[in-house]
Structure 1
Amino acid sequence: MTRFKKNTSKIFVSLPQLAFFLLLLLSTINAFSQKTKVGDLTDEQVAAFLQKAKDSGMSEAQIEKAAIMQGYTPADVAKMRERLNALVSKKGKTTNESDITVARKAIKTKSNSDSTDTDSLKVIRKPSKVFGMSMFASGSLSFEPDLRIATPRNYQLGPDDELNIDIFGNALDNYKVKVSPEGTVRILNLSPIYVNGLTIESASERIVGRLRQLYQGINMPGSGVSAQITLGNVRSIKVTITGEVVKPGTYTVSSLATVFNALYAAGGPSENGSFRNIKVIRDNKIVRVLDLYDFLLRADQKDNIRLQDQDVIRIADYETRVEIIGEVKRPMIFEVEKTETLKDVLRFAGGFTDKAYTYTIGLRRNTAKELKLLNITQDEVSTFIPQRGDKYTVGEILERFENRVQINGAVFRSGEYALEAGVSTVKELIKKAEGLKEDAFLNRATINRQKGDSDPLIIAFDLGKLMKGEIDDIPLKREDIIFIKSIKNLREKRLISISGEVNKEGKFDYVDGLTLADVIVLANGFSESASYAKIELARRVKDDTTGLEPNQDVIIKSFDIDKDLKISALDAQITIQPFDKIYVRKAPRYVQQKTVVIEGEVKFPGAFTIKDKKQRITDLIELSGGLKDGAFAKGASFSRDSTKIAIDLSLILKNPDVKENLLLIQGDRLFIPRELETIKLTGELLNPISVPYRPNLSIRDYISQAGGFTEKAAKRRVFVKYANGFSDRTKTFLFFTTYPKVEQGAEIIVPAVDNDNSSKLSTAEKVAILGAVSSISLIAINIINALK
């Protein structure tokens, strides 16, 4: 026996190469005029030759050989292959790309108009909302017949069936015989045995009867010889599928194939095909009517009969289809028979979802002229008969409750409750919520209620009197919400704060009975620098203003406290009130060690601690043992907080009372260099360098050693920066220029001319200055003459 034949060729895979070689062959016989370059071909021409390639009988090797003989290069071959691959890909995307493509394998098909066997059936179908259509669109589902089962007892033999005849016992033999087109089988030395149309059981009895001519008493008690006849390879039969089917035609299938096998191979019913009325016609008689809903809904295959040769399967047009949408498990289009009701449609749809509104179902029905709306109640579902084109809508239940009340606030179990017997009044609901909390505010509670027009309504009541029975209990209505406030919620959050010399500054919740010592414990105790005396407490003025001054807004108190925070009678008297602020001061004599650093040419460089607030720079030098020989005091530098402060240490050492002898603070640094012997020249000089210091040289001499000024040099703004941080500039009066003095370790800096024209004198200003100078000169001459 054989299954449906598998595909033996890859048409859609080799087609681009075949079309390419065909295109080359056709080009050699002038099929496309003078366009011999691959790049000159249009997509339409390539598509035309691609279609012709499907009908080509030449092999790819023959076509390629012919193309190369005509002068085409391997590069042309590769380029055309790329064109064809791109065209095939583009075609696949631009056609029904959204369609579901199902390739039916394992079948050999013959149509009345085409005697050529095809290896696959390609079915293209768009996604459909029709129930059952997806079963035939699934590429993973298969209804191939099982060829490994035992031979069915009612299987009727026909031409091309193969029988295995095994003889065993006192005689051993085996025959493989095939049913001839005349319906007979031949066994050596026996006349033909007619078996066509017989079941395998009847055919076995007839063949064994003939075998007794060769084997005496075969299959009879005491003979010692037995025979067993089984079915080998089965024959193929032809069935015709017609009507509203995706791929109608005549199919060659296995003789074990059923109606489902054939339907699946043909792609199933089309969009207009019926799933409820599929007829199997044999010898012009309807032998079975198949309802696919039996299989789809209950997996019932009672009507999935085995096909016989020349059977016709006809899929009728559907008669009545209805659609159901909304809150059902399978919102789809269903086919309905005449006797079925809306209840059956709901069963087809899998029933309602959990959120379905089942009280009524909306219906939009087509009439002869227009649309019509109907509402079907629950009582009508089982008797309501659907009509063609009906569209049912199952809504979703509303997000509202028919019997809900709520209670929130100072009760032990706040939340939602059912409005029912035993929970119909405010008092009963509070009892259901496990009662009021201890901090419940009893003077007033409220009920939020919706009026008939959905506007909110607030009902206030005295909760304390209600619970005591002094006023009548209040009946509840659906969606009432009771709010019971706690006393804590009706007042400002009570906090106290502490700051200053404690280990954890901040705010803390106030509780009754809190004392000053308790607050310090909450702040993790005193810090090392804390003073235990004069702890300050600031308190708001609220009601009691006794002893206050007219304009006094805050009460200030001071306390002394035990540093060990022991509980004492005094501690109990220093009670804290809400919103108090506590300040713990630093001890008057508490000072952290302050460190200063001295480096360079001193005998004991390093860090030193300041013992008091009166120590100065000279004291630091004394602590370090004094200056070494060769120390350059004139060039000492002093820094504080990363900022350099210019001092003249040589002057300070000569006269400690000068202002430059600064008081020392934490982090001060003093650096005393060795004697500096160079002068540095920078800025707008032809050769900026450093040169040895010579006491007898002026600033002009040093500038000459640097090659002189550049063109951009601002000669009148030359200045000197000394080693200790001080600077001195060039001074100009009239026509006289005075340059600063040059000392050891100094830096001569020549700035550039400022390009800003705003700093230059105008012509009028120059004339005015010249006039003033002339007048002064004239006055000076007259004075000199008078003195003579």
Structure 2
Amino acid sequence: MISAHLFLLRSRQAGLGLICCVALSTWNAKLTAQTLQAPAASGQNAGSTAGSTANGSFAGVDGTVSPIAGTRGSLSAGQIVAILQDKPEVIVEIKQLAADQLQQQGVKIQPDSITDEALYSQIASNAPLRSAITNFLRARGYVSDADLQQNAAAGGSDRDDDGDALSSTQTLQSLSQVPGANLPLAAADGSSLQDSLAQQAEQGRLQSSGNTTGAGARTTNAAASRQTRDSDTHNTTDVPKVLRQPAPYNLLSMRDLYTQIPEESTHLKRFGSEMFVSRGGTGTMTRAVGQGQESPLDIPIGPDYVVGPGDSLSIDLWGGISQTLTKTIDREGRISLPEAGTIAVAGLTLERAQAVIGNTLKAQYRNAQVAVTVSRLRTVRVYVVGDVQRPGAYDISSLSTPLNALYAAGGPTGVGSLRTLRHMRGKELVAEIDLYDFLLHGVRTGDDRFQGGDTLLVPPAGPQVALSGAVKRPAIYELKHEATLAAVLADAGGSTVAAALSHITVERIDANQHRETVTLNLTKSSTGEAATAAISDFPVRDGDRIQIAPILPFSERAVYLEGHVVRPGRMAYREGMHLNDVLRSYQDLLPEPAAQGEVIRLVAPDLHAETIEFNVADALIGNVSLELQPFDTIRVLGRYDVDSPRVEIRGEVLRPGSFPLSEGMTAAQLVRMAGGFRRGALQQDADLTSYHIVDGNKVIGQRSAIRIGDAVARNDSSADVVLKPGDILTVHQITGWNDIGASLTIEGEANHPGSYGFQEGERLSSVLRRAGGLRDTAYPAGAVLIREQVRELEEKSRAELIHQIETSSAAAKLAPNLSGGDSSATLQLIQQQQEQVLARLRSQPSSGRLVIHINSDIDSWANTDADIEVRRGDVLSIPKRPGFVLISGQVYNASAITYVPGKTAGWYLQRAGGSSELADRKEIFVIRANGLVVGRHSGDGHVLSAKLDAGDVVVVPQKIIGTSQFWRNLLTVAQIASSAAIAAAVAGL
């Protein structure tokens, strides 16, 4: 019943691809900027681990955050997909990992919404994602560090020779070339991208050697053929080749069911055709006798061997004389012996020849012993004709058999027969040879030795059938006496244990008519005896293509366990199995499981998914009598995966932040989790803010004070409280703690410059008195007080001013009465001026100067408004009297003019050559040595009439282009701000 409804759920994934692609793209964009960490222990799922740390990163096995392996050490897209195809449970965890990460980043997506295509596409195009998944697989034990190092050394990472990551297009193109790929990224046979590319590179190298001929070319082609053959090998114990369709739910059971058995597309070879492929000289027989190579003997030469003309004999003498003679039998059948003359040995057996030679030599040499061996065999010329690779005449060894001659001729062609080879001697048929006896059973028939002039005839092949699928030796077989499917299966080694004998399909050719499809009359419920009988009775014909389909690629009697468990994965199902048989105790779960679990059941007949909730604690003690069914998925989540309860601690603790709320956690335990108190913590009491829900529709906050010091240091349970989800504990700071060690720095013309501590509320006059007051050379009017808070305010003000200038529209710069041509030219000038002002504004750092009014007589201004309170980090610089006035801006000679008492700003401006044509004389301003700015609108008369003191700065601004008042005011402020830093620097000279 289950197998009849395996693929009815496929339509439910419609419309999910676009959503998850957009979400995954967002995830990958953020992966570039931050590191995705791998989960912890190998038994913990991605969902439970995602919340294991406060910041959402993933902890390693030892609890530390594990760095991601670099892209150089990461797996390629093809290798990752091969692992995901081979282990479907990994995809479930990878999707859960992706969904958890996206939810932490604010993207609402469920694991079920991420389709396989979207995940595979992102793996191919995103290198950070491949690094993250590689680290995940390493943490889970699917790959080891040694594997990654070996892969990087072998060039298996997804980078080119220059170290740059391969583009997604290159990756997709490489993956699309993998034979039998299911999706654009997955090889159907599970082979890795590295293996595929290595094979393609080898084939390309072979093809590039186009000028290679003869035995060398055949050897190279043989190596490529052998490599292809080895890659096609598929053992019964291997994971079956399947096409995985996108499942609508992220369940391992669904992934098992959403698989299709792929159509067999392997190119079958003729059985025995590879026997005659050269092994590069490593075998016992070679075929190149006619090409000047020696043919090694594959059988020993016995004493009954008949010697003849052309044989070379090796004669060893010892005893009365030690000597070795090599003699070749001439055409007349004789050999020449020393001192004895010639003797005839042709036609004698080797044993008889040794006796004749020995008797002859013993008469010449006293006590001589003789041994005769054949050092080189004579050759005979035979003819190999018919459908062979290289028909013709061959000079072969006199010990050669028809099989040797066939090797020499390169074996049969694709048309030549392997079952009816004929050994002819003239018109007489010496033997008929069936190579299947040798190939299948190791029996060498027709081993009659060749004589000169013999012929080996290879006729065209007889009837043939192709056998593929779940058989041990899929190939094309030539028929001789086989008439039934059982006989052909016997030649193929029989069917594998994974063969579905009820699914045998025969594509048959009705001779010279048409093709038809024939099946055996078997059902799934047929017994083994019935299947064997049907196979034995089924006749085969010439041209049949027989396909034996494999059984279902998944177990039909399994349940699945996932989530917050020690051993996730498949479990065997048995009749009457209950939930307690799977979840027996807390040892089967990871720490702190959620209170509720769920069983996701695929309900027949259409196998739609339904969820059944259960209480985990009741299930463990046997109070839940839920009977399981095949394909049930038992999911137990972690306590922190289900509406994760958390509490927060703030203030004076070592590690403030958000922490998971464990069962029964108290405020004292939370403080200890946060590392304990800092030295500045107020341990008298702390604030606890709690929330509770009223009538299910209203949240009310409540604040209470707890004696946190007694609860932590003295373990006083009466002072401690049990925390609830969402509680916020705030540990306060001791009053004035930040003022401990506070100091300011006095530089320049003080009697005792240096760093001085101060009490809260202490004023500048008090610190100056402790510094010994000011020296006679001091210039208090130019004193500069730098305060960090002022610097921060200046930075914000300057950034806002720059933003206003950059974002001001053209309408704010031009007058409405300008024509088109005038406005274009004016805008160009305004743009240049704007860039100059912005460059000056950015180049001048914020000084942080606080304007003060002090003099050498400290008593005169002490405890007045000018006597300001000092702050931590203040720096007071008291310069010497400068002795000059600085003229800057749009003047002909911007310089420092020697100070002359009583002179006005106009007097100093004239000494600098006066203002230039670009100057805006109406907006000239003066920056006093103490930091005050005197401008046209200061109310003190004309600026140029103001009398200056030493250290003052006269600034002549640039004439602002543009008639908009807003724009003019904006740039005026910018010019003043950029000049303030110059004035502070002058005061310090």
Deviation sequence 1:424-458 (CA, Å, 0-9, x none): 264xx635753799999999986835222334466
CA displacement at 1:632 relative to structure 2: 1.0
Q: Equivalent residue of 2:900, what SS?
A: coil
| Partners of 2:206 and 2:220 within 8 A in 1 | no
| Partners of 1:102 and 1:139 within 8 A in 2 | no
Amino acid at match of 1:529: G
2:743 corresponds, among 572, 595, 603, to 595
CA–CA distance in structure 2, aligned partners of residues 525 and 290 of structure 1: 92
The equivalent residue for 1:575 is 721
The equivalent residue for 1:396 is 550
CA–CA distance in structure 2, aligned partners of residues 138 and 167 of structure 1: 41
Q: Equivalent residue of 2:541, what SS?
A: coil
The equivalent residue for 2:186 is none
Amino acid at match of 1:501: E
Q: Equivalent residue of 1:650, what SS?
A: coil
The equivalent residue for 1:372 is 516
CA–CA distance in structure 2, aligned partners of residues 647 and 442 of structure 1: 67
Q: Highest relative contact order (Cα 8 Å, sep 6+), 1 or 2?
A: 2
1:647 corresponds, among 822, 837, 852, to 852
Larger deviation: 290-299 or 459-468? 459-468
Larger deviation: 507-516 or 461-470? 461-470
Answering whether residue 214 of structure 2 is matched by residue 103 of structure 1, we say yes
CA displacement at 1:319 relative to structure 2: 0.7
CA–CA distance in structure 2, aligned partners of residues 255 and 293 of structure 1: 25
The equivalent residue for 1:531 is 682
CA–CA distance in structure 2, aligned partners of residues 648 and 168 of structure 1: 129
2:780 corresponds, among 620, 633, 649, to 633
1:584 corresponds, among 703, 726, 731, to 731
Answering whether residue 957 of structure 2 is matched by residue 747 of structure 1, we say no
Q: 1:543 to 1:205 in 2, by over 3 A?
A: same
The equivalent residue for 2:90 is none
Q: Equivalent residue of 1:604, what SS?
A: coil
Alignment of 1:324-473 (within 5 A): 324-339=467-482, 341-349=484-492, 351-352=494-495, 355-368=498-511, 369-376=513-520, 378-379=531-532, 380-382=534-536, 384-405=538-559, 418-420=572-574, 423-424=575-576, 426=578, 430-431=580-581, 434=584, 448=601, 450-456=603-609
Deviation sequence 1:300-335 (CA, Å, 0-9, x none): 545555533222222221112222233445433232
**Which entry has the higher C-alpha Rg, 1 or 2?**
1
CA–CA distance in structure 2, aligned partners of residues 256 and 651 of structure 1: 126
Amino acid at match of 1:454: L
| Partners of 2:335 and 2:344 within 8 A in 1 | yes
Q: 1:446 to 1:520 in 2, by over 3 A?
A: closer
Amino acid at match of 1:401: S
CA displacement at 1:244 relative to structure 2: 0.6
CA displacement at 1:251 relative to structure 2: 2.0
The equivalent residue for 2:312 is 162
CA–CA distance in structure 2, aligned partners of residues 441 and 685 of structure 1: 78
Deviation sequence 1:688-709 (CA, Å, 0-9, x none): 3333222254444434443444
CA–CA distance in structure 1, aligned partners of residues 647 and 418 of structure 2: 81
Q: Equivalent residue of 2:506, what SS?
A: strand
CA–CA distance in structure 2, aligned partners of residues 691 and 586 of structure 1: 54
CA displacement at 1:739 relative to structure 2: 4.3
Q: 1:399 to 1:646 in 2, by over 3 A?
A: same
Amino acid at match of 1:527: R
CA displacement at 1:680 relative to structure 2: 2.8
Q: 1:303 to 1:500 in 2, by over 3 A?
A: same
Q: 1:698 to 1:430 in 2, by over 3 A?
A: closer
Q: Which runs of 5+ in 2 are unaligned?
A: 1-202, 226-267, 287-294, 523-530, 792-847, 968-989
The equivalent residue for 1:240 is 383
Amino acid at match of 1:618: S
CA–CA distance in structure 2, aligned partners of residues 442 and 724 of structure 1: 71
| Partners of 1:121 and 1:265 within 8 A in 2 | no
2:270 corresponds, among 118, 130, 147, to 130
Answering whether residue 825 of structure 2 is matched by residue 685 of structure 1, we say no
Q: 1:267 to 1:663 in 2, by over 3 A?
A: same
Amino acid at match of 2:882: L
Q: Equivalent residue of 1:702, what SS?
A: helix
Answering whether residue 932 of structure 2 is matched by residue 710 of structure 1, we say no
CA displacement at 1:255 relative to structure 2: 3.5
Amino acid at match of 2:305: Y
CA–CA distance in structure 2, aligned partners of residues 100 and 386 of structure 1: 44
CA displacement at 1:647 relative to structure 2: 2.7
The equivalent residue for 2:649 is 498
| Partners of 2:685 and 2:709 within 8 A in 1 | no
Q: Equivalent residue of 1:724, what SS?
A: coil
| Partners of 1:729 and 1:739 within 8 A in 2 | no
CA–CA distance in structure 1, aligned partners of residues 572 and 351 of structure 2: 73
Deviation sequence 1:159-216 (CA, Å, 0-9, x none): 332334455555788765433334444557878655444433344455567x38x928
CA displacement at 1:339 relative to structure 2: 2.7
The equivalent residue for 1:89 is none
| Partners of 2:926 and 2:943 within 8 A in 1 | no
CA–CA distance in structure 2, aligned partners of residues 467 and 522 of structure 1: 30
The equivalent residue for 2:842 is none
Deviation sequence 1:220-248 (CA, Å, 0-9, x none): xxx84544433344333212111111111
Larger deviation: 680-689 or 663-672? 680-689
Amino acid at match of 1:644: R
| Partners of 2:354 and 2:370 within 8 A in 1 | no
CA–CA distance in structure 1, aligned partners of residues 734 and 296 of structure 2: 101
Deviation sequence 1:59-111 (CA, Å, 0-9, x none): xxxxxxxxxxxxxxxxxxxxxxxxxxxxxxxxx99998699976238xxxxxx
Amino acid at match of 1:361: I
CA–CA distance in structure 1, aligned partners of residues 681 and 617 of structure 2: 50
CA–CA distance in structure 2, aligned partners of residues 719 and 207 of structure 1: 134
| Partners of 2:648 and 2:657 within 8 A in 1 | yes
| Partners of 2:919 and 2:959 within 8 A in 1 | yes
CA–CA distance in structure 1, aligned partners of residues 732 and 457 of structure 2: 105
Larger deviation: 261-270 or 142-151? 142-151
Q: Equivalent residue of 2:887, what SS?
A: strand
Amino acid at match of 2:551: I
The equivalent residue for 1:620 is 767
Count of aligned positions: 635
TM-score (norm 2): 0.55
Q: Which one has a larger percent helix, Structure 1 or Structure 2? A: 2
The CA RMSD over aligned residues, in Å, is 4.9
CA–CA distance in structure 1, aligned partners of residues 713 and 504 of structure 2: 80
Q: 1:684 to 1:180 in 2, by over 3 A?
A: same
CA–CA distance in structure 2, aligned partners of residues 395 and 680 of structure 1: 97
TM-score (norm 1): 0.67
Q: Equivalent residue of 2:747, what SS?
A: strand
Q: 1:689 to 1:235 in 2, by over 3 A?
A: same
Amino acid at match of 1:135: M
Q: 1:504 to 1:295 in 2, by over 3 A?
A: same
Q: 1:188 to 1:492 in 2, by over 3 A?
A: closer
